[in-house]
Amino acid sequence: MREMVYLGKVESLKLGNRSRGSPLPHRPGESNSTTFKLRRRAPSSPLHHYLLSQTLSLSLNPNPPQIPNQHLLSHPRQIPIHPSPLPNPTPRATFSTRASAAASTTPSTTFHGLCYVVGDNIDTDQIIPAEYLTLVPSNPSEYEKLGSYALCGLPASYSTRFVDPNETKSKYSIVIGGANFGCGSSREHAPVALGAAGVAAVVAESYARIFFRNSVATGEVYPLESETRICEECRTGDVVSIELSESRLINHTTGKEYVLKPIGDAGPVISAGGIFAYAREAGMIPTLSG
């Protein structure tokens, strides 16, 4: 197995010191399939939440046709990738969880509390301004302080503060937003700040991809998508419940119910407490012993 480091999607592979277009050597007794272990380099961030090794099996012809001025693997779509389904580790019991009658490890979780409603295009600088990114979430006191600044970057048109002065936790455990929630920079502090403030889930019409991914990787909040614009029918302070297994939101103040899109395979990762906790529970990486 040969190990390489890649950033983002695979654009090309450097095979030793061989020039472009040169064939792979085929040693006696070797199969025609070479396995490479591609280790993704984490972004320069204090959290480093995505450091996981990923293995791709690349079936390479030992005698490929010679194509002038073209790399052996110049198009990532030519790489045959066959992902296996995610295993389901034991979910983390952090909220109200009811045992399922069926033999399933999918949590039947309910979130209940007051909602805080925002509009479209809430960016990460509004969720947690850049001046607070020096706080290190792995430090418990700084993690708590990070929560006190959650959504403090919202414009003055939001008259109700998400976190009251001199408090570190918000009384709003569910955030309801519009389209493109979490756009802007790729800071992982955004979902971490919400989780530190006591938010269990965010329900939005759509998300910026990087915020959705950071929410899953950190395991701080459930990023749930709504089928309709719930943000136009709910008001800050409404009492709501989310039935995760049934993919629905109930507004007890208005008596209305709304269909949510299923969280899918991201659910067990978030329930485990993030991508590292999930990988340890699933046996993908060893568990550190005291």
Query: How far apart are the two ends of the chain, measured CA to CA in Å?
Result: 31
> How far apart are the C-alpha atoms of 94 and 102, rounded to whole Å?
21
pTM of the shown model: 0.64
From the centroid of its chain, how far is CA 264?
12
Residue 5 neighbours by CB distance under 10 Å: 8
Q: How many CB atoms lie within 10 A of CB 203?
A: 26
Q: Are the CB atoms for 241 and 250 separated by under 8 Å?
A: yes
CA distances from 73 to 56, 63, 129 (A): 14, 13, 41
pLDDT of the residue at 12: 38
| Long-range own/partner contacts, residues 163-167 (CB < 8 A, 24 or more apart) | 163/197
Do the bridges between strand 33-40 and strand 2-6 make them parallel or antiparallel, or are there none, so unpaired?
parallel
Tally the C-alpha atoms within 13 A of residue 275's C-alpha that lie toward its C-beta.
14
* pLDDT score for 108: 60
Per-residue pLDDT of the chain (290 residues; tens, 9 = 90+): 444 443 444 333 444 444 444 444 445 554 444 444 444 444 444 444 433 333 333 333 444 444 444 443 344 434 344 444 444 443 333 344 333 332 334 456 899 999 999 999 999 999 999 999 999 999 999 999 999 999 999 999 999 999 999 999 999 999 999 999 999 999 999 999 999 999 999 999 999 999 999 999 999 999 999 999 999 999 999 999 999 999 999 999 999 999 999 999 999 999 999 999 999 998 898 876 65
Tens of pLDDT, residue by residue over 209-251, are: 999 999 999 999 999 999 999 999 999 999 999 999 999 999 9
